[in-house]
Chain A
Amino acid sequence: MRLLFLLLKLFPKPDMAALSFVIPMSVMTLFWGIIGGVVPWFIPKGPNRGVIVTMLVLTAVCCYLFWLIAILAQLNPLFGPSLKNDTIWYMYYHWP
C-alpha cells in the first residue's frame, strides 16, 4: 500500500484546472457513448428494433456533437464579456 502511494508520487499530479475540463469531457462522452453504443445491444428483438436503434444512435451523435461544439467554442476565448459597471460591482462582492 505504501509502495503504491510512493509510486503515485512519482507521476506528475494532473492540474486542477485541466482536471476541471477532463471531468465534464469524460462524463459526457461516456454518457452519450453508452446511449449510442451500449444501449442498442439491449433492445429486444422485434419489428421496431431497427428504428429504435437508429434513433438512439442518431440522438447520441447529434446531442454529443452539439454539446461538444458548445464547450469547444468557449475553450480558448479571444475576448471577454463586456459588463455594465453596476453588474461588475455586484459580481465583485457576490460571485466567487
Chain B
Amino acid sequence: MDSFFRSEEMCLVQLFFQTESAHNCINELGHLGLVQFKDLNPGTVAFQRRFVKEVKKCEEMERILRFLENEVVKSNIPIPADFTSETIPFPRDVLDLESSFDKLEQELKEINSNRDTLRQNFTQLMEINHLLQMTDDFFEEAESQLSISELPSEDSVYSSRVTSRRTSYTSTNGPLKLGFVAGVIKHERFPAFEKILWRLFHGNFVLRHAEIKPHEEENMAEDPVKKDVFVVFVQGDQIRGKIRKLCDGFHASMYPCPNNAYARKEMRTNANTRIEDLRLVLKRTEEFRATVLTAAAANLQEWTTKVKKMKAIYYTLNLCNIDITQKLIVAEIWCPVSDLNSVHTALIHGSEQSGSSLSPVVNRIQTQQTPPTFNRVNSFTSGFQSIIDAYGVGNYQEINPAPYTMVTFPFLFAVMFGDCGHGLVMTLLALWLILHQEHFRKLKNELIDMLVDGRYIIFLMGLFSIYTGLIYNDCFSKSFNVFGSSWSVRPMFHPHGPWTNDTLHDSGHLHLDPLVSGVYSGNPYPFGVDPIWNIASNKLSFLNSYKMKMSVIMGVAHMLFGVTLSLVNYIFFRNLKDVALQFIPEVIFMLSLFGYLIFLILYKWCVVMKSESAPSILLLFINMILFDYSSEGTVLYRTQRPVQIFLVVVAVLMVPWLLFAKPLLLYRKHKLSKLVSMADIFVYQGIHTIEYCLGCISNTASYLRLWALSLAHAELSEVLWKMVLQVALRVTSGMGSVLLAVTFAAFAVLTVTILLVMEGLSAFLHALRLHWVEFQNKFYKGSGYKFTPLSFDRMRDMQ
C-alpha cells in the first residue's frame, strides 16, 4: 500500500539451481513477473555468450512462424485463439519444433511455387483462347467484306482495308504477301504501343485490337489485369522482326497464330481441353494448400508463445553464470522484499516439475549498488506513473509524485480547459474508451493505443473540467443563472441612481456602479462567476484580473506543496541536516515573498475600498522589492511599510544561508580528509541556490499560463458561438431550420477538432510541463532506473 508513495524496497538475491531444472525455474519466474535478472557477464559481447546458438535457432523459428502467419492470413483462414498458456518449453522441444517448422516451410514453399507455375500456364492458355477467338472475328469480318465487294489486291498498302490483306495472303498468286503478328498486351500500355508503331512504320500496317473481357469463372488469377488482344498486319519479314522486338519491349506475349481457320479451330479445342485440365489441377492444389495451412493455423498461437518463451529463457540464461562442472547455474536477481516468499515458492515449484531432487538455494546478499525503482501499479494508476516516468524515473525510494499527480494534473488541466460542456463531452468519450477498451486494443493502432492507455487520465480531466466549467460559468461559452445574479439594473435608474431614460438613449454602453446602493446586492454569486459578466462588454477586465490572481495563488500553493514533499524526503532518508540547511531557508524565502503576495491579494479582495484609492498589487509588490515608499496611496493597511521591509530583509538573508551554510558545514566535517572536493560542493550549492531563488520568481510567473490558456479557450468557444451557431439561429426565414442543421454540423466538427482535440492537447501539454518543471524541481531527482522484470505477460501484451 505504501509502495505507491515511494518505490519499493528491493533486495539482491543470489539463486543457485541445477542445470536440468533451469528451464522450469526460469519459466516459473517468468510467469510470476517479479524478478529482474542482473547481467553477470557484462564484458562479453552478444555472440560470445553461451546460449547464442539456441537464441539464433529461436529467431529462425520465429521467422518461419511469421512466414506461416502471412500465408495463413493471405488465404483468409482464421487463426483460433490459444488458451493453453501454461505450456512449458523444454530444451528437447527445441529440436522437435525446429525440424517440424523446417518441414512445413519447405512444403509450403513447394506448394506455392507449383501453384504459381500452374497459374502462369493457365493464364497463357486463356490468353491464347481469347486471341484465337478475336482473330477469328477479324478474319470472319474480312471474309464477309470480301464477299460483298471485290477490291483489286494490287493497290498500294495505304488503302488499309483488311479485305485486301485478307485476299492477298489467302490467294498465293497475289503480289503482296502479308504477315501478321498476334499477341496480348496490357491494356494501359496499348496506346503507347500504337503510337510507336505509327512512328516507326508510318502507317504501313493494320492494327486491330479488342479488350479481353474476363468471364467470372475464369478469374483464377489473384489480381486480374486488363489485357488487350491485338493483331498487326504488315508486309515483309524484316518489319515483322522489328515488331517482334517492339512487342518484347512492351512485355507483350506473342502467340503463334495459324493462318487458316481449320488450324485455328483445332488449336482452340486443344487449348480448351488443356484449360479444363489445368482448372482441375489448380483446384486440387488450392485445396491441398488450404488443408496444410489450416492444420498449421491451429497450432500457430501455441507455437509462437512457446518460441517466444524459449527465446526469453535462453536470453536470461545468457545473463547467468554457469560454473565449471556445468551442473550449477548462478543467477543474481533484483526482487522486491515483500515478494521474496512467492519467488521462493515459484522456484520450488519449478524444480519439482523438472523432477530434480535438490531445491534451488535462495541467498539474499547485501550490496552497495543502487537497486532499480519499482512502483507497483494497477490499471488505474499506470497511466499517471508512465507520464511521470517519461520525464525521469525516480531515484531508489525517493518520493513518487504520481499519487499527487493523479489529482493535481487533471485539476490544472481543468483550470486551463474550464468549460463544462466540453468537459462533459470529454468525460463521455473517456467512459466510452473505458467500457470498450478490449475492442479498441484489438485495432492495434498506435494512436488509439495511446488514447486507451490514458483513458482514466482523460476521464478525470473531463470530470474536473465540468467542475471548473461550472465555476467559470462557461458552458459552450454560455452561462447558467441558477441562483440569481448579484447585480441588478433597476437601482441605477431614477430616483435611486443617476440614470434616466435619456441616458439610455444617448449612449451605447453604460457602466453599473457598485457604489450606488442596491446595484450590487452585497452577496457574491454563491457558486462561481456571476452570470452577468457573460453579457457584459467589459467582461475581460474582470475575468483577467480574477484569473491572473487565481493562477498565482494556485501556483504558489502547488510549489509550496512541492517543497513540503522535499521535507518528507529528507525525513525518510534521515537527512535532518538538510532540513535545517535547505528546507527551512527555501520555505521562508518563498513564504516571505510570494506568501505575502497571496496575502495582499486576499486582503484586497476581502476589504471594502473605493476603486480610486485601491492600489495595484503589482505596483505594491515591485515597490516593496525596491524599497520605494515615496508615491502616494501605496498602503493597503496601516503597518504595511515596516512589515514589508522586514519580509524583504528576511528573504534576502535566506540567500546566503542557502548558499554558504551547507558547504561550510561540510568543509568543517571533512577538513582533515581530502575526499570531497570543496570547489564542487560550492559550485553545486551555488547552482542550487540560484536555481531555487530565481526559479521561485520565474516559476510563479510561469503559472500565469493557467490564465492564458483558459482565456484562449473561452475566446475560441465564444467565436464558435458568435460566428457559427448564432448566425444560423438568427435566420428568421423558413429555410432557417435547414441552415441550422448544416451549421450545427459545422459547429460540432469545429468544436471537436479545435476545442477538444487541439485545446485539449495544448492544455494537457502545459499542465504536464507545470508538473515536470515547476512542481518537480522542488523535490524530485528522477535519475533512477526502472525495474524491468522478466514477465511473460508483459511480452504477450507487447506483441
Q: Give A78 to B613 CA distance when docked, in angstroms.
A: 10
Do B537 and A96 touch across chains, with their CB atoms under 8 A apart? no
- Nearest-neighbour CB distance to chain B for A76, whole angstroms, equals 5
Do B546 and A70 touch across chains, with their CB atoms under 8 A apart? yes
B614 closest partner in A (C-beta) = A78
User: A38 an interface residue at 8 Å Cβ cutoff?
Assistant: no
Q: Within B366-386, which residues are at the interface with A (CB < 8 Å)?
A: 378, 381
Do A58 and B614 touch across chains, with their CB atoms under 8 A apart? no
Stretch in B63-71, B480-488, B654-662 with 4+ CB within 8 Å of A: B480-488
- Nearest-neighbour CB distance to chain A for B529, whole angstroms, equals 6
Q: Give A3 to B526 CA distance when docked, in angstroms.
A: 36
Interface residue total, chain B, C-beta cutoff 8 A: 70
A89 closest partner in B (C-beta) = B504
Q: Give A74 to B467 CA distance when docked, in angstroms.
A: 18
Given contacts A51-B4, A70-B471, A84-B537, contact A79 B403 (CB under 8 A): no
Given contacts A79-B541, A80-B520, contact A62 B407 (CB under 8 A): yes
Q: Give A74 to B524 CA distance when docked, in angstroms.
A: 6
Do B526 and A92 touch across chains, with their CB atoms under 8 A apart? no
Do A55 and B546 touch across chains, with their CB atoms under 8 A apart? no
- Which residues on the A side are within 8 Å of B513 (C-beta)? 80
- Which residues on the B side are within 8 Å of A91 (C-beta)? 488-489
Contact of A92 among B489, B524, B549 (CB under 8 A): B489
Against A, the Cβ 8 Å flags (1 = close, 0 = not) of B445-477 are 000000000000000000000011001000000
Q: Within A31-80, which residues are at the interface with B (CB < 8 Å)?
A: 46-51, 54-55, 58-59, 62-63, 65-67, 69-80
Q: Give A55 to B521 CA distance when docked, in angstroms.
A: 37
- Nearest-neighbour CB distance to chain B for A96, whole angstroms, equals 7
Do B485 and A95 touch across chains, with their CB atoms under 8 A apart? yes
User: A83 an interface residue at 8 Å Cβ cutoff?
Assistant: yes
- Nearest-neighbour CB distance to chain A for B98, whole angstroms, equals 44
Do B489 and A83 touch across chains, with their CB atoms under 8 A apart? yes
Do A82 and B512 touch across chains, with their CB atoms under 8 A apart? yes
- Nearest-neighbour CB distance to chain B for A80, whole angstroms, equals 3
Do A24 and B530 touch across chains, with their CB atoms under 8 A apart? no
- Which residues on the A side are within 8 Å of B527 (C-beta)? 24, 28, 67, 71
Interface residue total, chain A, C-beta cutoff 8 A: 46
Given contacts A73-B605, A77-B520, A85-B507, contact A58 B539 (CB under 8 A): no
- Which residues on the A side are within 8 Å of B528 (C-beta)? 67, 70
Do B468 and A17 touch across chains, with their CB atoms under 8 A apart? no
Contact of B504 among A54, A67, A75, A85 (CB under 8 A): A85
Q: Give A84 to B489 CA distance when docked, in angstroms.
A: 12
Do A17 and B523 touch across chains, with their CB atoms under 8 A apart? yes
Against A, the Cβ 8 Å flags (1 = close, 0 = not) of B509-536 are 1111110000111111111111011011
B605 closest partner in A (C-beta) = A72
A45 closest partner in B (C-beta) = B1
A46 closest partner in B (C-beta) = B1
- Which residues on the B side are within 8 Å of A47 (C-beta)? 1
Do A54 and B404 touch across chains, with their CB atoms under 8 A apart? yes
Q: List the count of A-B residue pairs having beta carbons below 8 Å apart.
A: 165
Given contacts A74-B525, A76-B607, A76-B608, contact A82 B510 (CB under 8 A): yes
Contact of B535 among A73, A77, A80, A83 (CB under 8 A): A83
- Which residues on the A side are within 8 Å of B521 (C-beta)? 17, 20
Do B520 and A66 touch across chains, with their CB atoms under 8 A apart? no
User: B557 an interface residue at 8 Å Cβ cutoff?
Assistant: yes
Given contacts A51-B381, A66-B468, contact A88 B524 (CB under 8 A): no
Do B408 and A73 touch across chains, with their CB atoms under 8 A apart? no
- Which residues on the B side are within 8 Å of A92 (C-beta)? 489-490, 493
- Most chain-B CB neighbours within 10 Å: which of A21, A65, A83, A87? A83
Do B5 and A50 touch across chains, with their CB atoms under 8 A apart? yes
- Most chain-B CB neighbours within 10 Å: which of A48, A71, A80? A80
- Which residues on the B side are within 8 Å of A67 (C-beta)? 471, 527-528
Do B514 and A71 touch across chains, with their CB atoms under 8 A apart? no
- Nearest-neighbour CB distance to chain B for A38, whole angstroms, equals 18
- Nearest-neighbour CB distance to chain B for A83, whole angstroms, equals 6
Do B488 and A59 touch across chains, with their CB atoms under 8 A apart? no
Q: Within B341-398, which residues are at the interface with A (CB < 8 Å)?
A: 378, 381
- Which residues on the A side are within 8 Å of B532 (C-beta)? 81, 83
Given contacts A66-B415, A80-B520, A84-B537, contact A96 B403 (CB under 8 A): no
Q: Which residues of A contact B (CB under 8 A)?
A: 17-18, 20-21, 23-24, 28, 46-51, 54-55, 58-59, 62-63, 65-67, 69-85, 87-89, 91-92, 95-96
Question: Can you name 6 extra interface pairs (CB under 8 A) apart from A47-B1, A70-B471, A81-B535?
Answer: A51-B403, A62-B408, A79-B538, A81-B487, A82-B509, A82-B510
9 contacts between A and B (CB under 8 A): A17-B523, A71-B524, A79-B511, A80-B519, A80-B520, A83-B510, A84-B508, A92-B490, A95-B485
